[in-house]
Amino acid sequence: MKKKAVFLALLISVTALCACNGGRQEKKGSEDTSAVVGITQDLDSLDPHIAVAAGTDEVLFNVFEGLVKPSVDGTLVPAVAKDYTIAPDGKSYTFTLRENVKFHNGEVVTADDVVYSIERCAGLLDNQDPEVVVESALSVISAVEKVGEDTVVLTLSEPNTELLGFLTCAIIPKDYTMQKSAPVGTGPFRFVSYTPLTSFVMERNEDYYGEKPYLEKVTFKICSGNDAAFMELLAGSIDVFPYLTDEQASQLPTDYNLEVGATNVVQAMFLNNEFAPFTDLKVRQALCYAVDKEELLNIVSGGRGHIIGSNMFPNFGVYYDETLENYYTYQPEKAKELLAQAGYDENNPLTFTVKVPSNYDIHVATAQVLVEQYKKVGVKAEIQLIEWAAWLSDVYKAREYEATIVGLDSALAPSDVLKRYTSTAKNNFVNYENTKFDELFTKALTSTDENEKVTLYKNIQKLLTEDAASVYLQDGAKLVAVNKRFTNFLFYPVYVLDMAAIKPAQ
Amino acid sequence: MAGWFKKDGKWNVNRIIGFSLVVIALVFSLVGCFYTPYDPNAMHGDLKNAEPSLSHWFGTDNFGRDVLSRVMKGAGTTFLVGLSVVSIGAVGGCLLGAFTGYFGGKADLILMRVNDAVAAIPSILLALVFVGIFGSGTLQLIAALGILFVPSFARVVRSGFVVQKELDYVKNARLMGAGHLRIMFVHILPNIRSSLFSALAIGFNNAVLSEAAMSYLSLGVQPPDASLGRMLSEAQPYFFRAPWNALAPGFMILFCVLGVGLLSIGGGESHD
């Protein structure tokens, strides 16, 4: 009986696997203008001012727009605003609104809505929703004023020439209270429905002022993990999947194209600088020297990623300091020596736990490789897999961790990617503290001279590397599977999925 | 020894096959405790998903780790979890079942309803809740599954006690002045051993499968440590490209579960 049952089970599983493979040819046909995108992380909020996860931003990018929005080449292009001028002293910004931009609920965007949205983002409202994550870069804004029907002026308390990169923050209707359940924005797609842990559906915004998207309906299918998503792709139920692993890319079915870009994410093993062994610079440096990044890339991303040496990635162009990539080369002997100086040896090994969000295969794989590499220099690292929600609350918000592996994205401003290391930053979850860093950062932020700015930002990156604030690993390769029915999948220097650009393949 | 494999002069096929499968699984895991051909966690970037060969009998996985070594190590972990879980379940279940079955009354009624309530919830779901509260890891997994396995043993033992306590030998023992504890554990318990053994075999199989399931959901054994379920989970994306990654741990689970199952069937026949 038992035997029969086992064989039956085997038979069923084999049939199921075959069925997965065979189902691919069916469906399609009339559904040409709808696409299903596989994502592996649930949205943390539908309110763009509350959401913090990069995985949420990349979805909401399609629904919301700011005064300006990022473009493919990394510049900022006008969106809700038609035009803007920055005062020469860097202390005020004037925006002229585009005429007749409509929210998804049919109302026209007014200067009041813009004032409200920016004040909400900057935490200037009198009845501020405590859940709104105030964008600290916007805290320099001292006043947002409506001047005439279509002009808004931002007055800053101190000069800042980089604020534009943060004015991509979503413009939402004034005093609209349903943002969390039925979000309303101005983007090329309008929200249809959201089922937690299942899907986020949006449809074409027929009132869009710009070029209307080709796709009529886009469903973001939330899969429980990378493997599950790939299985769905093999079964043909996902058209676009942006998080292929190297291995999956090599198994891609023939009706999908492989698109390769950069993830624009700083992947690192972030160290809690306040956790006892990591307060010692030598320990942190040892951890940097002990990592063979070449081998790591070889194993986890087929050698396709880009090694980084600080908290910045190559798409930042002039601001990016590529010399830091080779600052910590693989030197296990030196790592051991530094550890010995810090008081750790075979009898008293350095031990720590690295918390890894279990839904990101790349981080889990990276963790496994690092644990092995650290073993070679006598460091005992233990992996603890945690849920994404737990990562956000325990690691990112409460900072209760020793080390963690994750990727950080950034807005289109060098200050955004580096600001989290200033000692007072709310998102300084690595607990990094260096007064010299704070000084340089303030100087760079307020500098109106572009050359000086570049030099300052390079110095700041270098400071992070010298202090070994964390173990910076790579800007991974983004491998995207796109069904051959579609083309024109665009890679941005920020972490977004632009579904409006998708065109049919002819 | 040969007699053990025979029944009424005929070969007991169930017992022979079951015994061989269990021996294979045991040899793998026991040897794995002391010796593996390679370090089960050592990685080789240029040997990813290599086919089975003379140097790597079961091939390598997506990190270039030797699958044979990982199966040996992983089987040990999985069986250890299985044994621990069954032990916790059996000891807890015996105590609970013996007291409720022997004494009866209101305590019996209440405890058994609690028992039913626990048994009514799918075990994986309860284990998920447990792991969610106490965190994931091998020890937590053993504790969670161990507690969940108590009800099934408790019920088997209780029903045995309810029947046995009415029999004459118990009354005799009582008249001779034996204490309750002595009667329960020295007189009655040995008499329900055959149903207890079957429960143990089934329980062990379920525990192995539960461990595999939990680790498959990345809630049990944490990477990079190997366990059969974790290996299956990691092998899933490579099933068509490198099937040995999934087949090796899969067959290991099959051998073990099928072997113990057949042994208990073979054993049951001879007891009847």
CATH topology of domain A68-166: Dipeptide-binding Protein; domain 1 (3.90.76)
Does the B80-230+260-264 domain belong in CATH 1.10.3720.10?
yes
The least confident of A60-74, A297-311, B81-95, B118-132 is: B118-132
Find the CB nearest A3 among B219, B237, B258.
Answer: B258
A382 in reach of chain B (CB within 8 A): yes
Domain locations in chain A as residue ranges: 35-61+187-262+479-504, 68-166, 266-475
Give φ, ψ of A246 to 5 degrees: -55, -45
Cβ neighbour number for residue B189 with a 10 Å cutoff: 18
Is pLDDT at A483 greater than 80 in this prediction? yes
SS (H, E, C) B51-95: CCCCCCCCCECCCCCEHHHHHHHHHHHHHHHHHHHHHHHHHHHHH
Both structure tokens of A169:
């923050």
The Cα A397–Cα A413 span in angstroms is: 23
CATH for the stretch A266-475: 3.10.105.10
The Cα A487–Cα A480 span in angstroms is: 12
Q: What is the pLDDT of residue A19?
A: 45
Q: What is the pLDDT of residue A30?
A: 45
Q: Do residues A230 and B237 make contact, with C-beta atoms less than 8 angstroms apart?
A: yes
Q: Do residues B220 and B138 make contact, with C-beta atoms less than 8 angstroms apart?
A: yes
Q: What is the mean pLDDT of chain A?
A: 87
Q: Could you give the count of Cα atoms lying within 13 Å of B63 in the half-sphere of its Cβ?
A: 28
Is pLDDT at B75 greater than 80 in this prediction? yes
Is pLDDT at A285 greater than 90 in this prediction? yes
Q: What is the CA radius of gyration of chain A?
A: 24
- List beta partners, residue A221: A38, A199
A353 in reach of chain B (CB within 8 A): no
Q: What is the pLDDT of residue B10?
A: 77
The Cα A371–Cα A389 span in angstroms is: 24
Give φ, ψ of A312 to 5 degrees: -155, 155
Both structure tokens of A138:
């916007």
pLDDT in tens, A72-122: 877 788 999 999 988 888 889 999 999 889 999 999 999 999 999 999 999
Q: What is the pLDDT of residue B49?
A: 80
Mutation for B interface: A8, A385, A386, A394, most B CBs within 10 A: A385
Q: Could you give the count of Cα atoms lying within 13 Å of A481 in the half-sphere of its Cβ?
A: 32
- Amino acid at site B16: I
A230/B43 Cβ within 8 A: no
Instruction: Tell me which chain B residues have a C-beta less than 8 angstroms from the C-beta of A393.
Output: none
Residue A413 to chain B, least CA–CA distance (Å): 36
A224 in reach of chain B (CB within 8 A): no
- Contact residues, chain B to chain A, C-beta under 8 Å: 41-43, 45-46, 48-49, 62-64, 135-137, 218-219, 222-224, 233, 236-241, 254, 257-258, 261-262, 265
pLDDT mean over B232-243: 81
**Best mean pLDDT range from A23-37, A198-212, B120-134:** A198-212
Does the A35-61+187-262+479-504 domain belong in CATH 3.40.190.10?
yes
Is pLDDT at A2 greater than 70 in this prediction? no
pLDDT in tens, A123-138: 888 888 888 888 878 8
B223/A383 Cβ within 8 A: yes
Q: What is the pLDDT of residue A24?
A: 41
Closest-approach residue (CA) in chain A for B48? A299
Find the CB nearest A385 among B46, B63, B218.
Answer: B218
pLDDT mean over B192-200: 85
What is the reported pTM?
0.72
pLDDT mean over A421-447: 88
The Cα A13–Cα B239 span in angstroms is: 13
B218/A299 Cβ within 8 A: no
SS (H, E, C) A234-290: HCCCCCEEEEECHHHHHCCCCCEEEEEEECCCEEEEEECCCCHHHHCHHHHHHHHHC
pLDDT in tens, A297-326: 888 887 888 999 999 888 887 888 889 998
Reduced to 3 states (helix: H, G, I; strand: E, B; else coil), residue A309 is coil
Instruction: Tell me which chain A residues have a C-beta less than 8 angstroms from the C-beta of B250.
Output: none
% of residues, chain A, pLDDT over 70: 94
Is pLDDT at B136 greater than 80 in this prediction? no
B240/A247 Cβ within 8 A: no
B241/A365 Cβ within 8 A: no
Q: Which residue has the tokens 């199921």?
A: A16
pLDDT mean over A480-502: 91
pLDDT mean over A223-232: 87
A129 in reach of chain B (CB within 8 A): no
The least confident of A26-40, A273-287, B155-169, B220-234 is: A26-40
Find the CB nearest A299 among B43, B223, B224.
Answer: B43
CA terminus-to-terminus distance, chain A: 56
Q: What is the pLDDT of residue A18?
A: 46
pLDDT mean over A188-208: 94
A14 against B222, higher pLDDT: B222
Both structure tokens of A342:
């810090």
Instruction: Tell me which chain B residues have a C-beta less than 8 angstroms from the C-beta of A230.
Output: 237
Q: What is the pLDDT of residue B57?
A: 84
Q: Do residues A395 and A403 make contact, with C-beta atoms less than 8 angstroms apart?
A: no
The Cα A327–Cα B128 span in angstroms is: 44
Q: Which residue has the tokens 């923050």?
A: A169
pLDDT in tens, A203-222: 999 999 989 999 999 999 99
A174 against B219, higher pLDDT: A174
pLDDT mean over A40-55: 90
Find the CB nearest B223 among A17, A226, A364.
Answer: A364
Q: What is the pLDDT of residue A7?
A: 54
Instruction: Tell me which chain A residues have a C-beta less than 8 angstroms from the C-beta of B258.
Output: 2-3, 6
Find the CB nearest A371 among B62, B136, B224.
Answer: B224
pLDDT band at B271 (very low <50, low <70, confident <90, very high): very low
Find the CB nearest A368 among B223, B233, B241.
Answer: B223
A8 in reach of chain B (CB within 8 A): no
Is pLDDT at A3 greater than 70 in this prediction? no
Instruction: Tell me which chain A residues have a C-beta less than 8 angstroms from the C-beta of B63.
Output: 299, 365, 368-369
Give φ, ψ of A239 to 5 degrees: -95, -35
Is pLDDT at A240 greater than 60 in this prediction? yes
The Cα A230–Cα A363 span in angstroms is: 17
**Best mean pLDDT range from A497-501, B171-175, B254-258, B261-265:** A497-501
Is pLDDT at B206 greater than 90 in this prediction? no
Q: What is the pLDDT of residue A256?
A: 94
Residue A372 to chain B, least CA–CA distance (Å): 7
Is pLDDT at A237 greater than 90 in this prediction? yes
Residue A496 to chain B, least CA–CA distance (Å): 26
Both structure tokens of A165:
């990169």
What element of type H or E holds A306?
strand A306-307
CA-based nearest residue to A203, from A219, A181, A223, A179: A219
A247 in reach of chain B (CB within 8 A): yes
Q: Do residues A179 and A46 make contact, with C-beta atoms less than 8 angstroms apart?
A: yes
Reduced to 3 states (helix: H, G, I; strand: E, B; else coil), residue A498 is coil
CA-based nearest residue to A246, from A180, A296, A188: A296
Q: What is the pLDDT of residue A303?
A: 80
